[in-house]
């Protein structure tokens, strides 16, 4: 039996023990005057929590997880699982092999802290924290994503040196309720502080500020000696204006006031005239200072808060902010960094939110735990609606744990501590009880505590609401399903049974080349009362920068070894299985709208246009109709320019004057250009930018690019053939000086993650589409034209492919048809593929762009003239797959630096891709460091291309974006520059 009372508790296997010696959570600001203990700590990694400490010490940086630091003698590396636990033990057991980090350092306690209350704050440690000072036990905490505070007043001496030891046990009973879709780590992931207060101190501050300007500040006061001294009082200022102290009920009632003082409670009130309300569009904040005084007026404690006046309520089936029904354009976000794992800096957090703001997001779900405290300050400042989620996910053992009374304390503890910490942030509009943990009595207990403590915000929990979206008697005020087909959501909203808002907590899974049908999803939301949006899964690709040489994380030394989503030579983005672990879930961790270095994926541009605050509604005789699609703001913060893209005439520009529109209003403005009479296609774009510096964007930052077509293309005219013939080889393949492989039929693409996990790729392989063999049936020559009939044998029938090669003025026209048998009822693409000679390094095109787009993800790619180096057309999704496509291409040119090259004109807007990789190149490897680019260009011209969908976790693409059997026809003209 150990003599250490903390080890005797065995907290890593006792779920009833959630803490020991830990102070209650509160919302008092303690950053001012605190001493940071961040930096290098002495470190040992033990094989188990009860193993003896001994031997040599190494060093570990705090905050930081040991799994991301190359610490001598440590071999515990990151491990990724989604649903499965990384060990076999059932709850509440943890494995005997249990990495345990021992952190130790000396601390000089300031002499001026004599007579004060001294507190240690550990920002976060996963999963069990044991604290000792000078060998004496201080306390235990079990919650990997919230701070733990311990009173050290009785164990340290001001003016002396103390040794602080923090022991972090990686696996525990709480690991079973931290089974989140992310990397498993171990260590101290947030900052460690030491601070001091007067014995008479603010124990908590609760702020309630409504859109009517009414402010109420409830203060809880405690004294380290126990009994409160007589005559204490609180005062407050709001932007320099004094607040009035009130009694608990009625200041005129002396008895109530005495009772309140005895209980250590006080209330401040104020009414702010002409209050500036807070919302995500105009996040107006006020500075609130709360002071605690002794009878003689001496200030013993102070807490500063930036507060916002706003209301959140549910009215019928609408979620209202300040009385307005708002769309929730959200994303799920983890605390993540490719070099430091779970540890993120204030600058990292600001960069995350700035990027999200620039791409039209207004909401964050803190998946699946309370995030770093700085995120909430930034969300208040920059303007985001936050769904604050408790650190509860028991995915692998959800049903057993939801009603297990051994975990009751943990559920209520984690939810209540989150609420107590974050309740004063105006950005937090909804509390979430956790994620993917079934539904049971433990949730109801946590919901009951939350509703009692904070009736000003609704609660959501997908596990409760999924049983019946229309229920009214569960622990969720919002129907918040995951990956529900939009057709089901619309049907529910139209059913007459809907009782509460429907806001998907997860939708549009962003794994690899994904986020198909996002525009269709939002078109349904915006046209269907009762639907209010959702949260894309997710923000990050959680790739860890890995040294290929030794397979270990690059760590903090890896800064600068990546750019544009691509890791530097000798490094790669690691995903599940890359650290030698046998239990893992592969690349499923790479499912964000940004790459690990925060480079935007093309899907972000799609979202930006869907969320555009300004839209071109339509074009009619009196002009273009402009609409303001914001909830609270006018257009005065924006400026704009017109751009007119002509199919054959380049781009014209003109300044634009935005009309004065309130939210929801529209107005028609005249078109600033006279269209040329040639009858060609014309597209009008409004380039909308910030008119002044915003906290999240400098002046001139693009906000959106709404577009409307002014004129359709004119019918294509035929071109007379020349006398010279077309050269083909003995297999009927085109011979051309700029092509190293001739155009052949392609029905296959390097499977996307959606294709693989949605099992489409399995079906395509079973049909043999990845290994089709071309057989020439007939080659005919007549009048300089060559007609080639070929067949491709699939497992379910034969595909007949016809090419008609005709010389035309300056080049060659290729007319093609492919007849797919009924058995090929859903292929990846139907089109031509060929390869060019080396040296054609620049692509220019007229069509949608400039970023990647696909048939079901093309809303955010405006039609225009685009010019991009070929090497940048490819999108480096973490697992190589189909990428680099451009939708709606009318014509394109590939050229060398000397302006030689080729140009292709298409019969109608087509899906085109130009990269350095064949489909088989991409399919053969698991990481980009294994790819060898080809010297020439691999060109695909598709008559039809399957949509992307989100089937890796969610609905597939819509039926309109599937490639059906039957006859497909397309044509294109190839000319030499």
Positions marked active-site: 436, 506
Determine the Cα–Cα distance for residues 955 and 967; give it in Å rounded to an integer.
Answer: 27
Nearest to 344, CA basis, from 376, 372, 363, 370:
372
According to DSSP, the residues that pair with 324 across neighbouring strands are: 321
Tokens standing for residue 216: 């109420």
| Residue 112 main-chain phi, psi, to 5 deg | -70, -5
Radius of gyration over every alpha carbon of the chain, rounded to an integer in angstroms: 31
CB 821 within 8 A of CB 793: no
CB 136 within 8 A of CB 79: no
The gap from C-alpha 793 to its chain's centroid, in whole angstroms, comes to: 43
DSSP per position, 662-681 = -TT-EEEE--SSPPPTT---
Determine the Cα–Cα distance for residues 412 and 422; give it in Å rounded to an integer.
Answer: 16
* Total Cβ atoms within 10 A of residue 272: 17
Tokens standing for residue 610: 């869907």
Using DSSP, state whether 782 is helix, strand or coil: strand
Length of the chain (residues): 977
Q: End-to-end alpha-carbon separation of the chain, Å?
A: 85
Tokens standing for residue 431: 């509390």
CB 678 within 8 A of CB 665: no
The CA–CA distances, whole Å, from 110 to 33, 115, 225, 852, 928 equal 12, 11, 21, 58, 53
Determine the Cα–Cα distance for residues 521 and 603; give it in Å rounded to an integer.
Answer: 14
For tokens 């507190």, what's the residue?
119
* Total Cβ atoms within 10 A of residue 24: 13
* Total Cβ atoms within 10 A of residue 947: 22
Query: How many CA atoms lie within 13 Å of 597's alpha carbon, on the beta-carbon side?
Result: 18
CB 453 within 8 A of CB 204: no
The gap from C-alpha 433 to its chain's centroid, in whole angstroms, comes to: 20
- DSSP code of 541? B
Determine the Cα–Cα distance for residues 812 and 722; give it in Å rounded to an integer.
Answer: 10
CB 913 within 8 A of CB 555: no
Q: What is the largest CA-CA distance in the chain?
A: 110
Which residues in 432-470 are b (16+ Cβ under 10 Å) and which e? Answer: bbbbbbbbbebbbbbbebbeeebeebbbbbbbbbbeebe
């Amino acid at each position: 039996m150990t003599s250490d009372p903390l080890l005797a508790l065995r907290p890593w296997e006792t779920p009833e023990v959630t803490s020991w010696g830990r102070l209650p959570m509160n919302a008092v600001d303690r950053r001012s005057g605190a001493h940071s203990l961040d930096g290098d700590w002495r470190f040992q990694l033990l094989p188990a929590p009860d193993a003896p400490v001994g031997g040599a010490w190494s060093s570990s940086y705090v905050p930081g997880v040991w799994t991301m630091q190359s610490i001598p003698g440590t071999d515990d590396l990151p491990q990724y699982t989604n649903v499965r636990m990384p060990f076999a033990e059932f709850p509440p057991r943890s494995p005997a092999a249990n990495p345990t980090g021992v952190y130790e350092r000396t601390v000089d306690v300031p002499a001026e802290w004599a007579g004060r209350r001294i507190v240690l704050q550990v920002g976060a440690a996963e999963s069990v924290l044991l604290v000792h000072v000078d060998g004496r036990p201080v306390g235990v905490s079990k919650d990997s994503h919230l701070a733990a505070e311990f009173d050290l007043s009785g164990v340290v001496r001001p003016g002396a040196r103390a040794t602080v030891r923090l022991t972090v046990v990686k696996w525990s009973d709480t690991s079973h309720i931290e089974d989140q879709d992310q990397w498993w780590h171990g260590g101290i992931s947030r900052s460690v502080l030491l601070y001091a207060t007067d014995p008479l101190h603010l124990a908590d501050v609760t702020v309630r500020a409504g859109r009517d300007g009414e402010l109420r500040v409830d203060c809880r006061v405690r004294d380290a000696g126990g009994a409160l001294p007589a005559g204490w009082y609180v005062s407050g200022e709001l932007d320099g204006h004094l607040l009035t102290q009130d009694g608990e009920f009625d200041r005129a009632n002396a008895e109530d006031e005495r009772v309140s003082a005895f209980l250590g409670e006080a209330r401040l009130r104020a009414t702010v005239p002409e209050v500036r309300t807070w919302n995500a569009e105009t996040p107006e904040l006020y500075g609130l200072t709360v002071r605690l005084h002794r009878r003689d007026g001496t200030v013993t404690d102070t807490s500063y808060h930036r507060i916002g006046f706003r209301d959140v309520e549910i009215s019928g089936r609408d979620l209202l902010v300040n009385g307005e029904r708002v769309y929730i354009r959200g994303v799920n976000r983890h605390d993540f960094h490719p070099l430091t794992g779970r540890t993120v800096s204030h600058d990292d957090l600001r960069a995350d939110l700035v990027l999200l703001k620039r791409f039209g997001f207004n909401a964050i779900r803190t998946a699946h735990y309370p995030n770093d405290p700085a995120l909430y300050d930034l969300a208040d400042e920059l303007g985001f609606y936050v769904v604050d989620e408790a650190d509860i996910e028991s995915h692998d053992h959800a049903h057993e744990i939801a009603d297990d009374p051994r975990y009751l304390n943990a559920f209520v503890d984690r939810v209540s501590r989150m609420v107590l910490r974050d309740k004063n942030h105006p950005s937090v509009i909804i509390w979430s009880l956790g994620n993917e943990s079934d539904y049971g009595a433990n949730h109801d207990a946590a919901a009951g505590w939350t509703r009692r403590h904070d009736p000003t915000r609704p609660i959501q929990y997908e596990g409760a609401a999924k049983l019946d979206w229309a229920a009214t008697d569960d622990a969720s005020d919002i129907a918040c399903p995951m990956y529900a087909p939009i057709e089901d959501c619309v049907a529910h909203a139209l059913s007459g049974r809907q009782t509460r808002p429907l806001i998907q907590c997860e939708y549009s899974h962003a794994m690899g080349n994904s986020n198909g049908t996002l525009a269709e999803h939002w078109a349904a939301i915006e046209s269907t009362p009762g639907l209010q949006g959702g949260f894309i899964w997710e923000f990050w690709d959680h790739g860890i920068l890995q040294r290929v040489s030794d397979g270990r994380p690059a760590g903090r030394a890896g800064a600068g070894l990546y750019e544009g989503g691509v890791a530097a030579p000798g490094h790669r983005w690691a995903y599940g299985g890359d650290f030698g672990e046998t239990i893992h879930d592969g690349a499923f961790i790479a499912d964000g709208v940004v790459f690990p270095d925060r480079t935007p994926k093309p899907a972000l541009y799609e979202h930006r246009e869907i969320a555009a605050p300004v839209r071109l509604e339509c074009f009619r005789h009196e002009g273009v109709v402009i609409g303001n699609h914001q909830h609270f703001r006018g257009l005065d913060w924006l400026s704009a320019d017109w751009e007119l893209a002509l199919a054959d005439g380049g781009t014209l520009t003109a300044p634009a004057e935005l009309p004065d529109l309130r939210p929801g209003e529209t107005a028609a403005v005249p078109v600033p250009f006279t269209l040329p009479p040639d009858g060609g296609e014309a597209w009008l774009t409004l380039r909308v930018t910030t008119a002044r510096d915003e906290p999240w964007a400098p002046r001139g930052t693009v906000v959106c690019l709404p577009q409307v077509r002014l004129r359709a293309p004119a019918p294509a005219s035929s071109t007379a053939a020349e006398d010279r013939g077309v050269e083909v080889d003995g297999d009927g393949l085109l011979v051309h000086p700029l092509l190293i492989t001739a155009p052949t039929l392609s029905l296959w693409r390097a499977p996307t993650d959606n294709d693989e996990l949605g099992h489409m790729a399995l079906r395509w392989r079973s049909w043999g589409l990845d290994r089709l063999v071309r057989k020439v049936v007939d080659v005919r020559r007549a009048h300089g034209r060559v007609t080639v009939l070929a067949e491709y044998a699939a497992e379910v029938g034969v595909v007949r492919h016809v090419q008609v090669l005709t010389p035309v003025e300056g080049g060659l026209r290729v007319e093609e048809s492919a007849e797919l048998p009924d058995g090929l009822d859903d292929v990846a693409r139907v089109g031509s593929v060929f390869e060019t000679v080396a040296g054609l390094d620049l692509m220019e095109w007229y069509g949608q762009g400039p970023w990647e787009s696909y048939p079901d993800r093309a809303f955010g790619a405006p039609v225009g003239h685009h010019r991009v180096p070929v090497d940048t057309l490819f999108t480096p999704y973490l697992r190589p797959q189909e990428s680099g496509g451009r939708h709606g291409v009318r014509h394109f040119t590939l050229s060398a630096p000397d302006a030689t090259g080729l140009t292709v004109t298409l019969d109608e807007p087509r899906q085109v891709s130009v990269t350095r990789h064949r489909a088989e190149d991409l399919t053969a490897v698991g990481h980009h460091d294994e790819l060898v680019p080809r010297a020439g260009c691999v060109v695909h011209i598709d008559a039809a291309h399957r949509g992307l969908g989100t089937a890796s976790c969610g609905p597939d693409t819509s039926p309109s974006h599937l490639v059906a059997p039957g006859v497909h026809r397309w044509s294109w003209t190839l000319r030499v520059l």
